[in-house]
Amino acid sequence: MESTEAATPHRTAFLGEEKLFPLLLKMGIPAAVGMIVNALYNIVDTVFVGLGVGSLAIAALSIIFPIQMLVSALAQALGVGSASIVSRRLGEKREEDAARTIGTAYAAILLVTAILVVLTYIFMRPILAFFGASPAIMPFAIEYLTWVSPGFFFFAASMAANSLVRAEGNAKASMTGMIIGAVLNTILDPLFIFGFRLGVAGAAIATVISQVASCVYLFSLYFRKKTHVTLRPDHFRIRPAILKDSALLGTPAFVQSAGMSLLALVINTGLGKFGGDMAITIYGMVSKINMLVIFPILGMAQGFQPIVGYNYGAHHYGRVRGAIKVTILTVLSLATFCFAILMIFPRACMGLFSQDQELVAAAARVMRMMLLLVPLAAVQIIGSTYFQAVGRKTQSIVLGLSRQFLILIPLVLVLPHFLGLDGIWWSFPAADLIATTLTVSLLVRELSHLEDRQTSHDAQPSMEPMA
């Protein structure tokens, strides 16, 4: 056991030693690149489907998006929650506990996704109708979901593996897994949609094959001993106590993804009522472009999480405090840069999905409204990630619930009755402003507490014997 214990600080000590900004870039850039690539998954599908099939097919993908987000939510809950435990266990030099946590996460994902696939096939048409598919959209939605749902396990397992591999400090491997899937999807989409003339089904098949490839690569890291934590077959079983902790810590991530699903349901219903199928298509286009702002922030947040988790577990509270400040400044700058590009070139962004100039002009106007305050999402995401990483369940759940459930959904339900269709679009910047105010208030208090903890820790007498 001595050699194992000695190996842990050698492989992970850099999280507690390197300068914060270079360390954040080292951990966050691969994750951000991976998340951008992940966003391209969705964008490429939508671009080729829009050009190859038409606007109703884009609307179909918008209807199916909340279903995919539910799968993503479960993967995030288990993957991100487990990653929080893993990074802290490594900081505490408890490698075997980290291995049990990883095995529990994968076993739970296999069980949950199997149930989801069965339910999807049994209740496909009612599910799609519930999520807002009109008679015109329904055939495209059924065709896509029929082919894409068998890949739910690979999709969920890949997402969880990204978080768990990154929790060990292996950000580059996580990025590589995402890139493999996205590049393959980009190659296969036009081949299946245009070359084999499979239409919407071709996009779904390309997506599943790409997800399988990404999953196989990430899991091969364990079997090729390219990870710090060594897994054995007996690790791959559900341990209720670990699963409970992982699920609770992953609740903010679950809420954010599930909130997007519920939000999409509410929005699609409202859009169908106030704007029809064209409005649903526009929302699908704008939401895909929005990923190019949000996903890089999520990537940097994923790089931030193991840094905070490790140092919090090692009682380096001053370093945790510094990491919060450095990360918020970095992601705010990144978000503002992405935001500026979208605001300057809205028609070019929307023109990626359609050659219908009337649709492009309407979508460009909506994009400027919806994304007016989107850089503020940087503060929201980092705040929620911090409380999750250090095991502060209440704060992380509150922040995870705030934007989508407590603020945005009520606004989407109320404002259209006063502003019509525009009320739905204006709900987004209003929610960003309110949620950011709440996040900042919690973070300011936490920074003060961290300073007090560091002072108290530094004042403790040394336990070493006197000479």
Residue 4 has pLDDT above 70, yes or no: no
How large is the average pLDDT for residues 169-189? 85
Residue 149 has pLDDT above 50, yes or no: yes
How large is the average pLDDT for residues 38-65? 85
Residue 465 has pLDDT above 60, yes or no: no
Q: What is the pLDDT of residue 115?
A: 95
- Specify the range with the lowest mean pLDDT, choosing from 34-43, 96-105, 228-237: 34-43
- Give the separation between CA 147 and CA 158, rounded to whole angstroms: 18
- Helices 421-459 and 377-389 cross at an angle (nearest 10°) of 40
Residue 104 has pLDDT above 90, yes or no: yes
Q: Residue 12: pLDDT band by 50, 70, 90 thresholds?
A: low
Q: What is the pLDDT of residue 44?
A: 80
Residue 112 has pLDDT above 90, yes or no: yes
Q: Residue 454: pLDDT band by 50, 70, 90 thresholds?
A: confident
Q: What is the pLDDT of residue 216?
A: 94
In this prediction the pTM is: 0.74
Higher pLDDT, 227 or 134: 134
Q: Residue 105: pLDDT band by 50, 70, 90 thresholds?
A: very high
- pLDDT tens-place string over residues 279-289: 999 998 998 89
DSSP track, 143-206: HHHHHHGGGHHHHHHHHHHHHHHHHTT-HHHHHHHHHHHHHHHHHHHHIIIIIS--HHHHHHHH
Length, in residues, of the chain: 467
Q: What is the pLDDT of residue 11?
A: 60
- pLDDT tens-place string over residues 314-367: 888 889 999 999 999 999 999 999 999 999 999 999 999 988 899 999 999 999
Q: Mean pLDDT, the chain, as a whole number?
A: 87
Q: What is the pLDDT of residue 461?
A: 61
Tell me what percent of the residues of the chain surpass a pLDDT of 70.
Answer: 94
How large is the average pLDDT for residues 255-284? 86
Q: What is the pLDDT of residue 77?
A: 85
What is the chain's alpha carbon radius of gyration, rounded to the nearest angstrom?
Answer: 22
Token output for 189:
């989409």
**Residue 72 CA, distance from chain mean position:** 8
Residue 1 has pLDDT above 60, yes or no: no
Q: What is the pLDDT of residue 335?
A: 93
How large is the average pLDDT for residues 71-80? 87
Residue 127 has pLDDT above 70, yes or no: yes
- Give the separation between CA 247 and CA 85, rounded to whole angstroms: 11
- pLDDT tens-place string over residues 184-239: 988 999 999 999 989 899 999 999 999 999 999 998 998 888 888 888 889 999 99
Residues 353, 355, 356: CA angle, nearest 5 degrees: 105
- Give the separation between CA 383 and CA 129, rounded to whole angstroms: 36
Residue 38 has pLDDT above 90, yes or no: no
Cα separations (Å) of 314 from 83, 120, 456?
Answer: 16, 44, 14
462: left (phi over 0), alpha (psi -120 to 50) or beta: beta
- Give the separation between CA 155 and CA 135, rounded to whole angstroms: 28
- Give the separation between CA 181 and CA 164, rounded to whole angstroms: 18
Higher pLDDT, 309 or 423: 423
Token output for 389:
């990483």
- Specify the range with the lowest mean pLDDT, choosing from 64-73, 98-107, 194-203, 377-386: 64-73
Q: What is the pLDDT of residue 171?
A: 73
Nearest to 323 by CA among 347, 303, 304: 304
Token output for 463:
């336990």
Highest mean pLDDT among 200-209, 223-232, 248-257, 397-406: 200-209
- Give the separation between CA 71 and CA 75, rounded to whole angstroms: 6
**Residue 345 CA, distance from chain mean position:** 25
- Give the separation between CA 76 and CA 83, rounded to whole angstroms: 10
> Domains of the chain: which residue ranges?
13-454
List phi, psi (to 5°) of 211.
-65, -40
